[in-house]
Amino acid sequence: MKRKKLDEAADLLRERAGGTLDAAIILGSGFGGVLRDRISATPLAYKKIGMPEPTVPGHAGEALVGQLHGRRIVAFSGRFHLYEGYEPLEIVYPVAVAAHAGAKTIVLTNAAGGVNAKFHAGDLMLIVDQLNLTGRSPLVGRVPFAGVKDRFVDMVDAYDPNLCNLARHVAMQYSIVMHDGVYAGLIGPAYESPAEARLLRVMGADAVGMSTVLETIAARALGMSVVGFSLITNAHLTGEATSHAAVIAASQRGANDVARLIEGIVANIDAPLPAPIEAPAKTEDSVPV
């Protein structure tokens, strides 16, 4: 990752946002439109900040840079995936640009399949931990990328407990039902077979997707605080078929809740910590293996 390219992109973001960024948001499949009407900003095409056009339907390829609830933010609408042939460093480039533009907090969103039998399509999950099952890492290489001092990143509390607590408050405020859960990131692009879905459950996953885990590793390596949400678009253990079109349609239906959570987090990033809400008892099921 070239320092000069990152610096130029970060300069442009700061210029458009009117100063150092407070937070970054990565919008998953189907969430692209979700903040467009809420941020006072003109979209910036990815190519202006050294990024390629996403190839996947549901991923727009533009950065919304501006103000949301008085905070300077960038929202990346469209991300890059291993299954498109991108390398980990290309996938985490938006995270690095946001960090270089000063963002200390990042909100990651995705669409995911539920592998907890208690999860239903349309549910929201607060990501409290992850399984990186991609076999890849953005920190592999002779030199870790620009801005990373230590490649041996601690992944305890990678999803910031204070931001998780704030997210639970916001969900409660809007009566959004939200589970806590572990997100497993795989390369895809085939959806999981029923046997793989059962295996993931046994491994401790509650939801599975094809993104996010490398971004979280990069964000932690860059010293950012991470909060993440999965919208469960399909429930694996029901045995129902999954298609990209159905995933996009389900994520568009849940987009409003995702927008509310993002807004609630951004509006309160530097507010005094709300009283801790006890993490909900983990939604347990029993999976026949």
Among residues 72 and 236, whose Cβ is nearest to ligand HPA?
Answer: 236
Only segment of 5-13, 168-176, 188-196, 280-288 that touches ligand HPA (CB under 6 A): 188-196
Can you tell me which of 105, 137, 165, 242 binds ligand HPA, judged by CB under 6 A?
242
Least gap, CB of 29 to ligand HPA (angstroms): 7
Among residues 245 and 273, whose Cβ is nearest to ligand HPA?
Answer: 245
CB 45 within 8 A of CB 70: no
* End-to-end Cα spacing for the chain: 43
How far is 70 from 88, CA to CA, in rounded Å?
Answer: 32
Can you tell me which of 76, 80, 183, 191 binds ligand HPA, judged by CB under 6 A?
191
CB 106 within 8 A of CB 219: yes
How far is 128 from 151, CA to CA, in rounded Å?
Answer: 22
Only segment of 54-62, 111-119, 137-145, 147-155 that touches ligand HPA (CB under 6 A): 111-119
Can you tell me which of 25, 117, 170, 210 binds ligand HPA, judged by CB under 6 A?
210
CA 205 to chain centre: 16
Among residues 73 and 210, whose Cβ is nearest to ligand HPA?
Answer: 210
How far is 165 from 67, CA to CA, in rounded Å?
Answer: 24
43-45/62-68 β-pairing = antiparallel
How many amino acids of this chain bind ligand HPA (CB under 6 A)?
14
Can you tell me which of 30, 113, 181, 254 binds ligand HPA, judged by CB under 6 A?
113
Can you tell me which of 209, 228, 254, 264 binds ligand HPA, judged by CB under 6 A?
209
Among residues 84 and 157, whose Cβ is nearest to ligand HPA?
Answer: 84
How far is 185 from 200, CA to CA, in rounded Å?
Answer: 10
C-alpha separations of 236 from 27, 92, 184, 240, 276 in Å: 23, 28, 13, 7, 32
Can you tell me which of 92, 208, 219, 227 binds ligand HPA, judged by CB under 6 A?
208
Contact between 58 and ligand HPA (CB under 6 A)? no
Look at residue 127 and give its three-state secondary structure. Answer: strand
Among residues 221 and 231, whose Cβ is nearest to ligand HPA?
Answer: 231
C-alpha separations of 57 from 80, 220, 244, 247 in Å: 12, 29, 9, 11
Site string for ligand HPA, 220-239 (x = CB under 6 A): -------------xx-x---
Can you tell me which of 112, 176, 221, 259 binds ligand HPA, judged by CB under 6 A?
112
How far is 60 from 161, CA to CA, in rounded Å?
Answer: 31
Catalytic sites, residue numbers: 29, 59, 81, 83-84, 111, 210-211, 234, 244
Chain residues that interact with ligand HPA, rule: CB under 6 A = 111-113, 188, 191-192, 208-210, 233-234, 236, 242, 247
